[in-house]
Amino acid sequence: MNWKQPKVYAVQHKSETVRAASRSGGIFTAVSDWILTQNGIVYGCVLDESFRAVHIRTECAEDRDRMRGSEYIQSELGDTYKNVRKDMTNGRIVLFNGTSCQVAGLKQYLGKEYENLLCVDIVCHGVPSPKVWEEYLHW
């Protein structure tokens, strides 16, 4: 990557329905649609049944659609980094979506660049701890 002049793109999905269900113009849906048509894997954050932000792995658009909301709190990654490496080692193309620090953490964990990994990081203004989210839900 050229850190002195990184590439930045502004895009908007053609579908108004997709844009309305998204928080960032629908680019995540467009990119993940392509990944899924390539028999790829998508990793991203969802709110589980207890309203905890967790990263999940999916191979289908239905679960991917759960990732399109706005989860700007720290997500639980669990074994996500390990599973990303396993999927790529098995020859699958992987899309990882997360905060900039999660993307940096994944790349540090992997220790090298992979051609079959595409990372999309959300524009982050800092994320509160899960405790703040729990207090908000309790309130």
Tens of pLDDT, residue by residue over 16-43, are: 888 777 777 778 888 999 999 999 999 9
The tokens for 37 are 């048509």
Model confidence at 108: pLDDT above 80: yes
Higher pLDDT residue, 93 or 126? 93
Model confidence at 60: pLDDT above 80: yes
Of 21-25, 38-42, 60-64, 131-135, the range with the lowest mean pLDDT is 21-25
For 57, the domain range is 22-138
The tokens for 27 are 């680019």
In a domain, 14, yes or no: no
Question: Structurally, how many domains does the chain consist of?
Answer: 1
In a domain, 5, yes or no: no
In a domain, 3, yes or no: no
The residue-averaged pLDDT of 123-127 equals 67
In a domain, 87, yes or no: yes
In a domain, 11, yes or no: no
In a domain, 6, yes or no: no
Distance in angstroms (rounded) separating the CA atoms of residues 84 and 117: 9
E-state strands within 10-125: 41-47, 53-58, 94-99, 117-122
In a domain, 73, yes or no: yes
In a domain, 7, yes or no: no
